[in-house]
Structure 1
């Protein structure tokens, strides 16, 4: 019997880097997509002067700053404004219902954008909620946006986007109404941006945002996690929702077979509610 074939140095380096990504973020890259690791890290290799993926992987072992840079490079930061636009139509409908039911309760709508990347989703949320209200005053809504990447969050906090980014998903009306020119780029108007709270958070391990939420968006995040991590993240999100709260997942994601905490919403197409939800009504806490 032939002995098992030893892994190539490159394969060993890719496995090491994939393990680093999972340890820092909970995200996995399957063996069939290992090519994406080297592709994502090529700019970092050129910038730092590493000629091979093996050299970079070896260097991350003793350099926490380089390891952080490698993890940030491997994360998928793909995002756009009003991505899967019908989702925001449903969120707007739910927001109107919450506001109507909460008249006299004097509490804000609370929304959490988990895995917010460079900020297009929370900005789209802020625009949606502003357009469904008579005005975006201090008490209209609270939007907390989290991501595991410091690099992505820095861009999100700046509120500045390129011409290419601004054209992805935004109508001319919204572009003019909610953004202003910033050199060759576009900046979110400060009156809108100041309603967004950006925080660094690992969904698998870090403390959860305080308080209860009406709506949590966790789109295109679960698909990068292991089954155990998906189950854990869904349980953690469930613990943050008000009794009648809603969960929004990505188009290719589902809670079915992943968690007993949620069920498809009977009222809001494509969204999920707590499995033990008692609708209608507004939870007090």
Structure 2
């Protein structure tokens, strides 16, 4: 059954108001599928009836559940493998040299979904223990969806999920198979802090990061919202830190706070804002 334009507009407005994300055409075709479980749990027969209940606001939790269902949580371990290879081969060695005195790294996985990205990052460190011995490493994993954050915290994945991106040796080394699925090892879990967070809120602690990953998230925002997100990332990224985006995302034409690193493909570096330049000139 086709969804009316008015229903689509209401759902689009709700999604953008709560998350900043737009209900793109690629999402609109799957609205009914995405919302089917929400409707089934509440005995709602149609999208129009769902919209009516949203407008009447009798159930304060309904809007939250609708937004959660509309979000795209597609992810897998070491997604698009080459960015992780670049981080391990080029970015982290340079950062390790620059931070040799402090031996501390802070990484932000923004839009982490169910946790495969931050757990993949944790594996990079855990698989080279001698190199990172004595280092204080914290990976902050955030997502606007509370549902996926809770799954990430649990660190329990299906056989299908661990097969996506992981080899047999990695699976055996970093996961324990139990009756309810594959459980992430404590060695990885202790490096990661999961929390629900909207990109347009104040950044998560510690508010200064050496590396920020925000992959395949900003493409769902309008240009103005992307600019706001880039500004927030620039404000909390250390001056020699890096930002990693998805393959289909760029800073070109979106922000004047970042430029591509010519030596590390996919890494973007901060450029001082005009306000910062003026403050420096006055100092």
TM-score with structure 1 setting the length: 0.89
Of 2, 12, 16 in structure 1, the residue corresponding to residue 10 of structure 2 is: 16
Of 70, 75, 99 in structure 1, the residue corresponding to residue 66 of structure 2 is: 70
Aligned 1:90-105 pairs, distance under 5 A: 90-92=86-88, 93-103=90-100, 105=101
Of 271, 276, 282 in structure 2, the residue corresponding to residue 275 of structure 1 is: 271
Aligned to 2:166: 170
Deviation at 1:184, TM superposition (A): 4.8
Structure 1 CA distance, aligned partners of 2:158 and 2:134? 28
Secondary structure of 1:180's match? strand
Give RMSD over aligned pairs.
Answer: 1.9
Structure 1 CA distance, aligned partners of 2:179 and 2:99? 42
Distance 1:90 1:10, change over 3 A: same
- Give the number of aligned pairs: 268
Does 177-186 or 140-149 show the bigger shift? 177-186
Aligned to 1:54: 48
Structure 2 CA distance, aligned partners of 1:154 and 1:34? 26
Deviations 1:87-136 (A, max 9, x none): 01111121122112322x22411110000000000000110122244166
Deviation at 1:78, TM superposition (A): 0.4
Matched, 1:182 2:181: no
Matched, 1:226 2:226: no
Distance 1:80 1:13, change over 3 A: same
Aligned to 2:23: 29
Deviations 1:18-42 (A, max 9, x none): 1111111110013575223223112
Secondary structure of 2:107's match? strand
Of 243, 251, 254 in structure 2, the residue corresponding to residue 258 of structure 1 is: 254
Aligned to 2:281: none
Aligned to 2:81: 85
Deviation at 1:64, TM superposition (A): 1.9
Query: Does the CA-based 8 Å contact 1:18-1:37 persist in structure 2?
Result: no
Query: Does the CA-based 8 Å contact 1:163-1:184 persist in structure 2?
Result: no
Does 12-21 or 223-232 show the bigger shift? 12-21
Aligned to 1:116: 112
Matched, 1:134 2:137: no
Does 81-90 or 268-277 show the bigger shift? 268-277
Consecutive unaligned residues of structure 2, counting only runs of 5 or more, are 274-283
Structure 1 CA distance, aligned partners of 2:50 and 2:202? 31
Structure 2 CA distance, aligned partners of 1:155 and 1:135? 30
Structure 1 CA distance, aligned partners of 2:133 and 2:188? 10
Structure 1 CA distance, aligned partners of 2:178 and 2:52? 41
Deviation at 1:258, TM superposition (A): 0.6
Consecutive unaligned residues of structure 1, counting only runs of 5 or more, are 1-7, 278-285
Secondary structure of 2:263's match? coil
Of 30, 35, 44 in structure 1, the residue corresponding to residue 38 of structure 2 is: 44
